[in-house]
Structure 1
Amino acid sequence: MGQQETPRSLTCSLSVAPRFKVGEPVMLRFQLTNPTARPLFVLDWHTPFEGLLNNFLQVTRDGVDIPYQGPMLKRGDPTAEDYVSIAPGASADATVEASLAYDFTQPGHYRIAFRNELLDVATKQAELPHTRDGFRAMPVQCPAVETTIVTP
């Protein structure tokens, strides 16, 4: 395989407490694990690694979509600092307060999913940053998580 090889996969997981009271912060943990034998460099845009700065989650309450209410950034090309390095066999994780950008104020059963694509993943740090037209997107399977919001 050549220098432009894109890694085959990263393992993704989400975790959230099973129950929150109305008004409590809903904290969501996002983790990417690198199962390959080489370091991988993941652009943090549209992921919890940069915080809630785009609509990268799908949130439903009792099967009804909950709209994103946070900021939507428009940007130029990334810098090398916009990439998260994940060593072989290691993981990187971030926690966001999902309730800052999605409405969790109603009691009910909530499902939270990551929208399943990383905008750019690289295998060589020396090639970073990529320009927007050189991004190598990677789908990632990240099983959804569920929580219940209850009245206090």
Structure 2
Amino acid sequence: MIQRIQSVYLLLVTALLASNIFLPIGSFLDKNGLLYPFTPLHVALPSAGLCYTPWGQLALLILGALVSFATIFLFKNRKLQIRMCTFNMLILAGYYIVFLMFMLMIKNSISAAFQFSFGLCLPLIAMILNFLAIRAIRKDENKVKAADRIR
């Protein structure tokens, strides 16, 4: 199970998404030059008297991490494993949509500049690793089909 390369990819996806929960994905720069970090857990803007908790982002990250971890154990059903990886890629695409929604909403309400951080790249890296896992799973499926034809 863990000796397969797709299991390593999926384990890396789980680790990336779990670590992204606590990393800042950007920061708001207000008119006074103060930086306020924006994480999936919260963003506090004391100068504007606002405190947001982007629950949608947090829920999508947790769901993506759980789906990728559960997909590792579906090694006997490769077709379902491919579907779960595809579903996880859709979850991560939804994460970026929710991020844009929250970022634009907060940015417009306080008229501050937004600076991107490295934490925003981690779900994209996770999507690439999901794609590599799908390719490896398909390769395994083709090997099994070829072995069945020989018998």
Q: Same fold (TM over 0.5)?
A: no
Instruction: Give the TM-score normalised by the residue count of structure 1.
Output: 0.32
Instruction: Give the TM-score normalised by the residue count of structure 2.
Output: 0.32
Whose radius of gyration is greater, 1 or 2? 2
- Higher helix content, 1 or 2: 2
